[in-house]
Amino acid sequence: MTEKVKVVTLGCEKNLVDSEIMAGLIHGRGFQLVDHKEDATVIIVNTCGFIDAAKEESVNTILDMAELKQTANLKALIVSGCLTQRYKKELMEEMPEIDGIVGTGDFDKINQIVDEALRGKKPVLVGNPVFNYDADLPRQVTTPRYTAYVKIAEGCDNACTFCSIPIMRGKFRSRSMESVISEVTQLANQGVKEISLIAQDSTNYGTDLYDGFMLPTLLHKVSEVPGIEWVRLHYAYPGFFTDELIEAIASNPKVCKYIDMPLQHSEDRILKLMRRPGRQKDTRELVRKIRERIPQVALRTSLIVGFPGETDEDFENLKQFVQDMQFDRLGVFAYSQEEDTPASRLPDQVPDDVKEFRANTLMEIQRGISNLRGGNRIGQEIDVLIERYDGRSDVYVGRSQYDAPEIDGEVFVANARLNIGELARVRITHSFEFDFSGEVIA
């Protein structure tokens, strides 16, 4: 009997790529991949362990999947990813429902884990997180046929005091440029038009393999692959955002004028406690240079509120910073006290209710900014990647280069017959809180 395998992915896009690699290996093994958990004889839960909420979601998902052993055909429940890398012992001791564990450095051995789990061995394979996938590994892309994520590096060397990523993912290590281009070429041959380059620290790409910062060169090489129309950059660490990178984004028509650059805070004292690069004046100067050279750029950032020692005055200054900077997109996270991180041992931890209030306050400020920034796009003519048709409203729905998959806004187009996956030229006519509507230009 051919085993039926369901892969459940939690967390970020980097986790999604890992799941797609495991699915590719499983498919190559001859097992059948299924969409519904009820049909599976093997379930793999690829977990996130970044913050408390993510860990809680991971544990609850594992328990939900385990119930299928009583009601469905489930033979083996495998757990992988960040949570296993960090808590393998606790998971095996406290959750006997788990039949096997694989860490972030051993995804390429998933078939071995599945085979042993089906034989009742309860395998645990969690070594040093050194694995970095190559274009030669099979991959089952699960995103729509016109878009895909490509991981250009793994791990992180920045040692921010609040972050557990180095614990779970190891030191920073780039993929070779040849490997990345080979994978992008394979994806383009399958019909992918939009490539989103991802890493925990994308701006540091290449410094461990080549002589200097190589992300600008990589952007140009990816854009030269036949069939690729959009190249999108995620998680640009501000400390390594060079003038050459700004120029590459500004001058290359295929590189989306979209920058996802997590800043985490505005106040110098907090940034120092976080062990983040530069100070507020450096951030303001960097944003000024970016907007001067790329006038239509959409800037997304993320901020942490309630970091240990953050005072009312710090928060008031952070609010003013958000007002001043007028980011197009903003994500706000309440600080999560992660064990084994330096920040977890800092004094003056902020109460949860204060953190929640501050997060909600910042998001309310951002709603007004998003409305204002969005209104400035009315009348613009932009390319929209059509993603679906909404039959109830008789509109097509897509994204512009200023909107990343899943996390940003959409564009509604009502006056034409379009094809899913095509780029349509659209004039923006209306702006909503995060979305737009427009008309196709003949």
Binding-site positions for [4Fe-4S] cluster: 12, 48, 82, 156, 160, 163
Q: Where are the beta strands (DSSP E) in 326-435?
A: 329-334, 381-390, 395-400, 411-413, 423-431
Residue 411: phi and psi, rounded to 5, are -120, 130
CB 150 within 8 A of CB 187: yes
In 221-295 the beta strands, taken as DSSP E runs, fall at: 230-233, 255-260
DSSP structural state of residue 264: B
Indicate the annotated binding residues.
12, 48, 82, 156, 160, 163
b/e burial code for range 299-315 (CB count within 10 A of at least 16 → b):
bbbbbbbbbbebeeebb
SS (H, E, C) 137-205: CCCCCCCCCCEEEEECEECCCCCCCCCCHHHHHCCCEECCHHHHHHHHHHHHHCCCCEEEEECCCHHHC
C-alpha 233/C-alpha 102 separation (Å) is 29
What is residue 303's three-state secondary structure?
strand
Which residues touch 205 (CB under 8 Å, ≥6 apart)?
A: 152, 153, 174, 199, 213, 214, 215, 218
Dist. CA 192–CA 371, nearest whole Å: 32
279 Cα distance to chain centroid: 25
